[in-house]
Amino acid sequence: MLPKKRITMHNHAAEASLFKRRALFTFVSVLLLIGVLIGNLYHLQVTDYNDYTTRSNDNRIRVIPIAPSRGLIYDRDGKMLAENQPFYSLEVVPERVKDMPTMLDELNKIIPLSADEREDFLEALKFHRRFKPLTLKSRLTEQQVAEFSVNQFKFDGVSVEAGLDRFYPQGMLLTHVLGYVARINNRDRASLEKAGVWSNYAATNNIGKQGIEKFYEELLHGKPGHMEEEVNNLGRHIRTLKVEAPEPGQDIYLTIDLALQKKAMELLAGRRGAIVAIDPRDGGILAMVSSPSYDPNQFVHGITSKDYRELLNSPNHPLINRATQGQYAPASTIKPIMALMGLDDKVVSEKTRVWDPGFWQIPGVDRKYRDWKRWGHGWVDVYSAIVNSCDIYFYELAYKSGIDRISAFMGQFGFGQNTGIDIFEESAGNMPSRDWKKLKYNQPWYIGDTISIGIGQGYWTTTPLQLASAVTMLANKGQHFTPHLLKSIKDATSKIDTPIDQQPPLILNNQHNWDVIAEAMRQTAIHSRFKDAPYTAAMKTGTAQVFSVAEDEKYDADTIDEKLRDNALIVAYAPFEQPKIVIAMVLENAGWGGANAGPLARELLDSYMLRDQWELKDAEQ
């Protein structure tokens, strides 16, 4: 018997309803997707049209920054101190060279390539786009450029390219004034980014590192330009669209007198020391020499580690600017200012006389403070005390005045503080006080400390620039100008003198005291190196101990290490009636100030004061 078949009953109405719902859902989904597509198209073509057009152009147009030429630096008379010189480098476009090793071998016959240069080039080649030029050798000599030019046809893809680099024609003469430029490092970049000016250095490799180059970096650097070029999808150049020229840095003129600077360097002759010369009429620095020095040009091209270590580890410390960073005991050079304080406070007068038997004692104390002249000077007043540099007079004066008054008065002359000169490399020196010693050594101030301060020794240190600035106030009878190196600025249209920073004058209780001290310094000059000078001058020498000698011992330069011998100092100005130049000089470990620094100061002032007469004689001959 056959099985019965199952009979399935279809609900056509339900199936039709399900189909309609599915069709409607599909239709609505398609409409929504079409709406999304249309919305995206509208967003791309209308709303963000400008944005995507710009992005497209960025892919098609490449902007290449163009470095500005750095501003030049001149002395006060327009003589070149820092310039830009062309340099030549050998560039290779790798894709145009069929056989690189063979090409390098052939090129080596014309322009010698060191093993390091060759190795560095091949290593850089691995990460370099083959259609872009790559430097093979930099700093070609003119002869190498000429020899390659003759044979260039043999080297497809190799060319000589020119650029500009900083050059200091005076070599080591002005290193501590000008400073130098060198490669931008990570610290420089971080500083520029923080200041928001990194974009200005997109095409620049160097930046001012010290001195004028660093202080006036913003003026000297200029503003970069740019070139717009069209490129294909591989980044290859198609055509140049636009060029905007860079704005060169501004040229600057310094107050430096190049002839005087050369003379000062010549006088130091490589010995450790410093000379500062200031024009007291405006505070302009006429000369500022620190010796020994070094050639800044070696930093421009990247100094080798060996050469830098030699400079850094040299026992003569050529990297330090002794004129603004060297800290020395001022010794007797500050006795005129000490005497001025005593006169103005009425601790002493013009007629006050002090007995000098060769030593001085604090009342009730056995220790004897010796005069430099063992048998003493006898009776001395303010004039003879300065002329003969009598220590006893100033021991007595310091004892009666006290450290509080000395510190406050000397602060008015700039001791213990920066002068404000327009370079960053400056030390404030040390003008000691009770609070300073307590903070420094956690010790009280003793009367004996004050006695040493009275003759410019002890804890007191100053820089040659501070000393010159203080003597400028003496020469000007209280008028004071901030020492500065910048004289004027020149751009494409004009040359503008920078304003002079005149400080409020120092007003004494009795203005006549200025004349007393000036006369004492004039007499010092007459009785010393300037007695036969054809111009009037004022001066004071100093001999600063580098280490202390016991009370009953005698200083003997022949028996101690050269680095422990006394420093020789001198300050002077001329002409006496209307000063045009003030100088301060320190010779490290040279010995007696009058005997060693005095002749050099006379020669330096002669070269400045008698220049017109000498030039006239040279012209007549």
Rounded Cα distance, 521 and 538, in Å: 5
Distance CA 351, CA 532 (A): 29
First to last CA, the chain: 155
Cα separation values, 468 from 108, 243, 263, 409, 582, Å? 56, 51, 18, 17, 7
SS3 category, 454: coil
Element (H, E) at 241: strand 237-244
Specify which residues 379 forms β-bridges with: 355
12 is in an annotated binding site: no
Rounded to a whole number of angstroms, the CA Rg of the chain reads: 38
Residue 534, helix vs strand vs coil = coil
Under 8 Å between Cβ of 520 and 350: no
Catalytic residue among 290, 291, 293, 332: 332
Q: What is the DSSP letter of 338?
A: H
Q: How many residues does the chain have?
A: 621
Residue 404, marked binder = no
Q: Where are the alpha helices (DSSP H) in 96-237?
A: 100-108, 115-125, 142-151, 175-178, 186-195, 211-215, 217-221
Is 484 marked as binding a ligand? no
**Residues 6+ away with beta carbon under 8 Å from 106:** 154, 155
Q: What does the alpha-carbon distance between residue 395 and residue 392 come to, in Å, rounded to a whole number?
A: 5
Q: Calculate helix-pair angle for 403-411, 391-401, nearest 10 degrees.
A: 100
Q: Which amino acid is at 318?
A: P
Residues 6+ apart with CB under 8 A from 345: 401, 405, 509
Residue 316 contacts residue 272 (beta carbons within 8 Å): yes
Tell me, letter by letter, the H, E, C secondary structure of 343-386: HHCCCCCCCCCEEECCEECCCCCCCCEECCCCCCCEEECHHHHH
Return contacts of 4-7, CB within 8 angstroms, 24+ apart.
none
What number of other Cβ atoms are within 10 A of residue 327's Cβ? 15
CA 524, CA 526: separation in Å to the nearest integer? 5
72: DSSP letter: P
377 labeled part of a ligand binding site = yes
The enclosing H or E element of 148 equals helix 142-151
607 is catalytic: no
Q: How many CA atoms lie within 13 A of 250 on its CB side?
A: 16
Alpha-carbon 550 to chain mean position: 40
**Residue 497 to residue 480: CA distance in whole angstroms:** 19
The answer to whether the beta carbons of residues 492 and 292 sit under 8 Å apart is no
> Which residue ranges make up the annotated binding site for Zn(2+)?
356, 371, 377, 390
List residues with catalytic annotation: 332
